[in-house]
Structures are given as C-alpha cells and as structure tokens.
Amino acid sequence: MSFIEDARWFTATPAPGATGMPATPGRVTLVGAGPGDPELLTLRAVKALRGARLVLYDHLVGKEVLRYVAEDADLIYVGKESSHHTLPQESIIDLMVRLARSGRNLVRLKGGDGFIFGRGGEEALALAEAGISFDVVPGITAAQGAGACAGIPLTHRDHAATLVFATGHLRGDNEVALDWEALARPHQTVVIYMGMGTLPVICDQLMRHGLPASMPAALVEQASLPGQRCITGTLQDLPQLAQQHRVRPPALIVVGEVVALQPRLMRGMQATVM
C-alpha cells in the first residue's frame, strides 16, 4: 500500500489520471469503518476495501482496518483531530470531487457510521450536486460499539424507552448549542459525541434543566479497542472523574439509568470471556 500522509500534494498537482480528454467520472463509496475493532466491520465494508485502489481515510480509522485494503492501493490521510486538521472539510470534498472527475473510483473511509456525526451527509450532498455517483456503506456507530462493549444497554424496557444522540462540539460562537430541555427528559438514554472538551458545561446544563445530580453517567474511551475504558459515576461527579482518570478522546458520554446496569452486565461478560 502506498501511504500518502500529506493530502495537500493532491491539491497542488493535477489529479491522478487527468488527461486532456474528458474522463468518465469515477464512483465514490462512503464506508463506515465501525467503532475501531476490525472484527466489527460489515462484510460489505470489507468487500469495498478489498476492491479499492484509492482510499481517503480519517483519523479514527485504525491500522488494523486498513489491512483489508489491497497492497497496490493508494491511501490518503485526511484526518481531522481537535485543533489540527490535515485538510479542512471543504478541501476534502473538493479533493473527492476532483479525483472522481479525473476518472478514479475511490473509497471514503470514516470511523463509526459516516451519517452519524461523521459529516457523511455533507459529503454525499456535495457529490450529488457535482454529479458524482456514490454508494453508502453503513457502519456500527460509536455509540453502539460503546454500549455493547462496555456493558451499557442503550435501551431497556424498565429504564429507557428513548435513545438520543447529540454532539457536544463547540459551535462558532464558542457555545454548546443543544436542546437541553429535550436532552434532560426522564426515562431516556443520551449519548453525546465529541463532548470531552465541554464535559463540565454538558453536565451542568443537564442538571440545570431537570436531571438529578445523582443520574448515572459514564465515559467510554476507545470503545471496542484494546485500550477501552469505562468510567462510571453520576452527572455531578463525571467532570472530576474525567480529570482524575485522564480520559482523552475518542470518548463518549452516556447519561441515563441504564448506566447503573453496567457493573452487573460486565460481570457476566467477563465470566463469558474467561
């Protein structure tokens, strides 16, 4: 495999395969890589990776997942980390469109599911507007991976009839703009992506809008990977626990009564493994 760590090379040179004659546009396959464990890839995702000759992949896609890519394929890293973007989102979209218009088929590989806080919807719309054909391969989203691997059922007939996904990422005005009243409703599970940087604000606002300080809550770090950790506590003490245990992204925040089931489920899961 040919790893191209600096995607700017492609924006500064003619698109590979470009000629003086119009090329038949290539096809883009948007693939969800799942939460990290390569065994959680779908069969369709593995098929797409094995058939790819060009892959644009994100920061959260692990090397074990990339092993499914053919040896003669080109891999371009376009990852985005907090405060460090290899390419802005607009440039990633432009790169995909240029490569496809040059006649190249490519796979756009994202962690989790690209249509759940992965900006896959933005990329799909841009491809459609540019007249580029594309397919979408769904992946197991991080919340599903975290719940299953950490022993937290996201729904339960006695504890949570509603499941809500939200993002805690800062907006342009440096605020977390969420519907706090909706998130603080009882008898539901709330999973917040990209919220570690705003964890104190999130916990404070949920309590201000009606959730008790004693509401069970958890942080799931590196879900499904060997370094996975699950830190459980309450809304009130979760920010302190995050500091104490030095929890770092990628991590999810899970809030709801179902978190209280985690110790019992983990005992059963560990006994099965042993």
Q: Is the CATH number of domain 142-273 3.30.950.10?
A: yes
Q: In what order do the strands lie in the sheet with 28-32?
A: 2-4, 74-77, 54-57, 106-110, 28-32, 134-137
In the annotation, is 58 catalytic? Answer: yes
Please tell me which residue in 6, 37, 47, 58 is annotated as part of the active site: 58
Q: Which two tokens stand for residue 99?
A: 């490569």
179/109 Cα distance (integer angstroms) = 30
47, 80, 204, 237: the catalytic one is 80
2-137 under CATH 1.10.1060.10, yes or no? no
Q: Which residues contact 248 (CB under 8 A, 6 or more apart)?
A: 196, 221
Domain boundaries, the chain: 2-137, 142-273
Closest CA to 42 of 112, 135, 139, 116: 139
Q: What are phi and psi of 265, to 5 degrees?
A: -70, -40
Q: What is the pLDDT along the chain (274 residues), one digit of tens a residue?
A: 666 655 544 544 444 444 554 578 999 999 999 999 999 999 999 999 999 999 999 999 989 999 999 999 999 999 866 555 468 899 999 999 999 999 999 999 999 999 999 999 999 999 999 999 999 999 999 999 999 999 999 999 999 999 999 999 766 666 788 999 999 999 999 999 999 999 999 999 999 999 999 999 999 999 999 999 999 999 999 999 999 999 999 999 999 999 999 999 999 887 544 3
d(CA 40, CA 250): 17
Query: Quick one: which of 195, 202, 198, 189 has its CA closest to 147?
Result: 189
